[in-house]
Chains A and B, each alone.
Chain A
Amino acid sequence: MRRLYQLALGVFLVVSASASFAVSPDEILSDPKLEMRARTIAAQLRCLVCQNQSIDDSDASLARDLRLLVREKLNEGLSDAQVLDYIHARYGDFVLLRPPFKLGTFLLWASPALALIGGGGAVWWNLRRRRAALSAGATLTEEERRQLSALGANGWSQDQSPSAD
């Protein structure tokens, strides 16, 4: 089975397609509002036996059990957050497709902000350093002035790029 998996992995599709699919009509709640909430919750829960599939997309029987559990809890009047907490408590962090915020996931959640601050800081620092370097050498010596005009006489200019767009 693992071999099969690798085959599928190699070409991008990991999810095994099957004729019997995810949510089937007999699971659907009669109250459309409640059903909508169930679907939203299901999209955030991982099918524990699948490769990166939400229980909403999976046809595994375990995913079906979880979908029914979500609907049962919603019928009991729990809020969305309570249902997620209930399943999180029973199945652990692995079941949440949006990882919980805690010590172990701190770097994960902080990574975009850290990258933005770090990258932005690097750009700013570089720009400042160059400007400082440039202003330090802003006054030309007589020799440099002469060289510059010699270059100018050769028709050298910065705008020689072939297509100026």
Chain B
Amino acid sequence: MIVELGHFALALALAVAFAQSIIPFTGARLNDVALMRVARPSAIAQFLLVAFSYGALTYAHIVSDFSLVNVIENSHSMKPFIYKISGVWGNHEGSMLLWVLVLSFCGALVALFSATLSDKLRADALSVQSLISAAFLLFILLTSNPFARISPAPWEGRDLNPILQDPGLAIHPPLLYLGYVGFSIVFSFAAAALISGRIDAAWARVVRPWTLLAWIALTLGIAMGSYWAYYTLGWGGFWFWDPVENASLMPWLAGTALLHSAAVMEKREALKIWTLFLSILAFSLSLLGTFLVRSGVLTSVHSFASDPERGVFILAILIFFIGGALALFALRAGALPVGGLFAPISREGALVVNNLLLSVICATVVIGTLYPLALEALTGEKISVGAPFFNGVLMPIALPLALLMPIGQMLPWKRGDLSAALTRLRVAFLIGVIALAVFFASYGAPYLSVITASIALYLIVGGLSDLFQRITFRNNDLRAILMRLSHVPLSALGASIAHAGVGVTLLGLAATGWGVESVIAMAPLKAYQVGPYQLMIEEITPRQGPNYSEIYAQMSVQKQGVTLGRIEPAKRFYQTRKMARSEAGILTIGLGQIYAAIGESHPDGTLDARLYYKPLVTLIWIGALIMAFGGACSLADRRVRIGVARRSIALKSGEAAT
């Protein structure tokens, strides 16, 4: 019964979504405030209905209701509780439902926290947002119904794909979706601005927290997915330039460009049209990513053509929204007021260069991802575009961008002095050059690692230089420093931190070139050297888990006879799906990691193993956390400003009362 109610709630949500996309929009055209104000309650109602529906599906998974096809195919009564919950979105239907849940959640947030918006802008934005909801709700109800029943119900389910039975699944998709869908809000506001023909710095301030929120979530989501891949796949790779990964990277790149161009718009009323375009682009790329992942087009162009129902539906959604928004943009952008002029050497100028380079990187990733599909569809020729292409082509663009980042931070708005900016960065340059010499002398190769690591150190120091120089000045006792620190605008603090975070990630990436790998058949109780450490198998034992059995090797990690810790790489076998997966054994030592995965065992008692020492590898993800923290600082700055606006409103109403 609960399941049927959930299904019904979803249909109701669709009806509400349609109403919400028509009534407030009509109200905005007729200047009818009552109609416009339908937007808020309907956005909240839509969210509650979708949430109920989602809750119903979750309930079915938790109680292992095997009369549902979705539960049979993705669950098992013995599956651990947490995976019963995360398994809800570990499949196509459920993940689309999660997508719509996040979408309507964001809509409800706009409805609740938009007291400062004009009725018209809110009505238009929530109408567009709701149209997106309606499209995806229709998609779920028509092609991907998660509530489909089957009779007779089997006694047992087929279990969740073992790769997905991991805490990674619990965290990664919700974060990623919050990122994707967060950009939908920015998209809706951009469409609303184009419809009304009004766009100004105030618009940029409204959109900024959404951009930041989406960007933070996407940053964390991508980092989480990358770490998940790293520890799951058994050989320590963390980024494969796979189309599915690129699908999340594309909106991230566009979103990063958007963050920076929106800053120019907010401060200087310039780059308005470009900012609008990026707002549309960021969500369009999210949609493109959803299409790539959900349609099956990646497996093969032909399999897409043979089973087209879902793919064609998402393609239609894609064309409708991207095409519609771009058409609107083409029609209305020319009528928007053009922004001001600025000097090339200035903060604005630097941010234009930033946007140019990020756009080039983004375009390259998009083209590299779609090119094989397009080529095969057009000529039947099959090519592969993989890591060697992306790394080779993108590094020459990304490294100069990294070099320019601190310089941009040092340039003031309007008119900057390049030599003064460079002078302020002398410490960073010095450290970069020393690092280059030291790395080259001590490692020599690979060159790319040496260069990247030096640029990374320069970027960390350079990114923080601005902050450092703001808080140290003549009188440098702790109180004075803390005092000045509290006066640094949070957005500037956030920028410094986030830039340093990029440097930290870059350093981690560079250090992968200095890792050590050893593929060997290990004999028990014999020590093997991996980098500066010795690994030894102490025992090999079978073990029984809730829905799998495994064989694990207990290994000790030693350095000069001192045991630093133990790891337990394992080989797992999931009975229901007859699938095996390896569990890596990882020991973090400082910022580096020892990583071990085991394979076949041999009659002579040896065990195939892949052993790695990965120096500084954790910096890749720590850097992403720092970036997200920087974004959060910037987000906090916005809250201060909303507070200011609220206070002045309170003051005004107070005056009116007296």
Binding site for B on A (CB under 8 A): 2, 4-26, 28, 43-44, 46, 51-54, 57, 92-100, 104-105, 107-109, 111-112, 115-116, 119-120, 123, 127, 130-131, 134, 161-165
Contact = CB atoms under 8 A, between A and B. Distances in A.
A-B pairs with the 10 shortest C-beta distances?
A: A97-B386, A98-B388, A19-B571, A165-B492, A19-B580, A165-B489, A115-B363, A94-B382, A25-B521, A115-B360
Contacts of A17: 163, 232-234, 581-582
Given A12-B228, A13-B232, A7 B90 contact: yes
B606 to A, nearest CB: 8
A126 B600 CA distance: 63
What does DSSP make chain B's interface, helix, strand, loop or mixed?
A: helix
Contacts of A13: 163-164, 225, 228-229, 232-233, 244
A54 B599 contact: no
A111 B371 CA distance: 10
B397 A163 contact: no
Interface residues of B, number: 87
Contact of A9 (B228, B229, B244, B356): B244
Interface string B361-380: 00110011001000100010
B641 interface: yes
Contacts of A28: 519
Contacts of B593: none
28 contacts: A5-B299, A8-B163, A9-B244, A10-B92, A12-B172, A12-B228, A13-B244, A17-B232, A20-B608, A23-B610, A24-B608, A25-B608, A26-B521, A46-B386, A54-B386, A97-B386, A99-B389, A104-B379, A107-B371, A108-B367, A108-B371, A108-B385, A111-B367, A115-B364, A120-B356, A161-B266, A163-B491, A163-B641
Contacts of B573: 19
A138 B582 CA distance: 71
Nearest to A96: B384
Interface string B168-181: 01001100100000
B384 A52 contact: yes
- Looking at A10, A16, A112, A116, the one whose CB has the most chain B CB atoms below 10 A away is A10
A18 B173 contact: no
A17 B641 CA distance: 48
B532 to A, nearest CB: 18
Nearest to B606: A25
B225 A99 contact: no
Contacts of A111: 363-364, 367-368
A95 B385 CA distance: 10
A105 B384 CA distance: 11
Given A12-B244, A97-B388, A18 B581 contact: yes
A137 to B, nearest CB: 11
A54 B375 CA distance: 21
Contact of A93 (B381, B492, B581): B381
Nearest to B366: A111
Nearest to A114: B363
Given A17-B234, A21-B235, A12 B245 contact: yes
Contacts of B225: 11-13
Nearest to A160: B201
Contacts of A10: 90-92, 95, 173, 293-294
Contacts of B580: 18-20
B519 A25 contact: yes
A24 B520 CA distance: 7
Given A8-B164, A105-B383, A21 B397 contact: no
Given A6-B296, A25-B521, A163-B637, A12 B397 contact: no
Contacts of B90: 7, 10-11
A19 B583 CA distance: 8
Nearest to B352: A123
Interface in B563-610: 571-573, 580-582, 597-600, 608, 610
Given A21-B234, A54-B387, A15 B244 contact: no
A93 B600 CA distance: 33
Contacts of B385: 97, 99, 108
B303 interface: yes
Contacts of A127: 341, 344
B644 interface: yes
A129 B341 CA distance: 10
